[in-house]
Structure 1
């Protein structure tokens, strides 16, 4: 936040003008607006959210210069947290209007469809009401890993094990939280996490890097994206919240502590001690009308010092299990998650020695960094080359996505009737078992041709590989648990 410096003369003139303006206008506003009809309305910023997220509730009073706080209904499963109020007055064509907006943060405790009854306000001995509101809260944690959708969603789509922060218990203007949807995981399993840094809005902060994990028990996926900035209020104190979405993975088994840390530099303003009879100590100058006052005092009479801090999240103990040995297929290469496989080819009719491309798409959720290869059934009458690999993330973590392998194959015999069949093995952490995916054979026609042209038709850079693998039972999906 940048501070604007006013010269002393400008400050005094600005102050006198505002005092003069208020002395003339406020009585007129009160007299005019008091006669207007008072109405009450309520709106939700988002009518559909996911468990772990919050939405803003705005309750607006039109036609009053002053109003008591609205009477909020009690709704089981919903938490209302006040974020303050705004007052706006306008003078247009000789008429005054006034609007008071009360702002609340609405946080659900469980999924479901909520109806918020009309909000009430007492005015002039009468009760006025707003319209009822509806809120839909979804919980994707019960539908398995395969339901992770938008990359811009907060971690609330997967549930939350960390309670909301309470600054009164934190006793700090800055603190860190790491939110993880589960406390039991497997070695090598990728788990979506969200790291949130809370800074009191009065602070000026410079980050010295991105969040990291301590202890060396877990790895955190590097993220080049800027943190998402939001604003939250706890215990009547406003915070700027910076959020990073990432993937966490355990490197060893055991009961392991999870702690995130973030280094930052805070600019702390040291204000001078003013005399008790100073006009700036009067609560009147806390009004938004005089919000320039603090900046002026700081720049003229105060100073700023830097303080380096290393924020750490509260320790969470995670239980990490090793992948089971029982039922582990020989072709398993470390993929953990929930995946599907689709195969297709660009052609069905070729000549001996002509290259064709086998496309294998593996989609789902999990540790795509370990989805590095699949196996092909053994065909001695084929030449097989290493595939080109393309990954398309479907969220901002790379947890939900699809990886496409484009593999060049060259038939060596006109008697070949079908393409080699790809086999992919992974471990499903939800069902706690290994699974095999096997594609359907794709029929092709291979005709005779002259030798010597196969090398000239192989794509540049393709590397021939050995395709010998262990035969696999021919089933679309085989559970090995």
Structure 2
């Protein structure tokens, strides 16, 4: 009896579930679905039309399937109103453009919509995409076939490879490339489009002689190892099609195939420590003048790296050696890169700024440039000679004013300087006279003169802190540089304050280096950089 009751209850439960599913299915209407073409070629498009007899509510798109190998794009919606036997009929037509990207046989799943609380779905349709080479026929344009050529099939990590794009045509009419729609596959690469002039040539495909026209070239530098895919992408092409006397333009999407590239890791044998990743064959040249300069003045030098290889990713030459009391800054300059055969050639310049901080004979060190040569599969290191300078005293770390001397040693008196000196002397005498008169009046009244105390250490720091805040408020970089320079110099001479510093000495050295890089090395300092330095100084305890 108990088993019979269980079976009855179980049967009732399944019936309820079946009934709910049937009701839910009944609530989902199937719309009339039409695919204009059941077979297309790669790069060709067809139209998917969905017609729905609907109410007055808004039509909401709930689900659009993604099909690998097809591109399904919404094109638009059109409403229709008709009067049939005195009754109003309302319908909606939704259109989608379906483009074949890869050869294959596809099924486009139903698209789902919602209106007035009810769900509507399209019918599943089938589509065949033929001709994986992407050949298309475009009326007067004749046969069009895309082609991608990789300059190499196997490279080392960091070694450039050229990817060239072509169109092969039968020459049946004028063809125009309107735009690059999709860029090449670039996962695992650094990509740069580079100018290259390559004339048209003839190519034979499937027994047909076609004109091969170069479209564009990309330089790719692999940033990871393994088997990588590149090439691909698409362009929008228009070709003229003549119909009797009149001509019309046909537009098509041309899709390019991808290619496989094997990227090898750089060998560990002989690899320098902290190798920066330069790959190719290079030369290095150092240029600077040997004229004597003053201490704290700058000397500019130029390093030129020239050759073939990964010029887009060339690292700065490494500085080594030299005296401790000289500062050396390196900034990347111009790049001149072009195509040479199946690789890149050109040169990259670097500007070196040297700031000696003492007089005498100064050695500013030398530069090295390690690189890996794929041709002989080994590492090499280029070296410059030492930068040797003769430095005389009298230089200053900032602008100065004084008398100029010519080569004979005679003083060139500037009238402006003389006028300033005269005004200073007159002002000093006037101040002394006024003070003496005031002092005489005070003594005659029997008052005592209060001696002014020398400026206290805390007063100096407060003044510097005010100047620092003022320079930030005014966004005055000159005042900021001078104030920070004075603060750092003042902190170095205050042993009690130095002991209280929360910022280590090397942090203060970094701040000083940033100031020198901006003042002497041609660098830039943003408002955010100024605020960061100001905050570091205030947190250090210098002003407490």
| TM value normalised by structure 2 | 0.43
Larger helix proportion of the pair: 2
Higher relative contact order, structure no. (Cα contacts within 8 Å, ≥ 6 residues apart): 1
The structure with the largest alpha-carbon Rg is 2
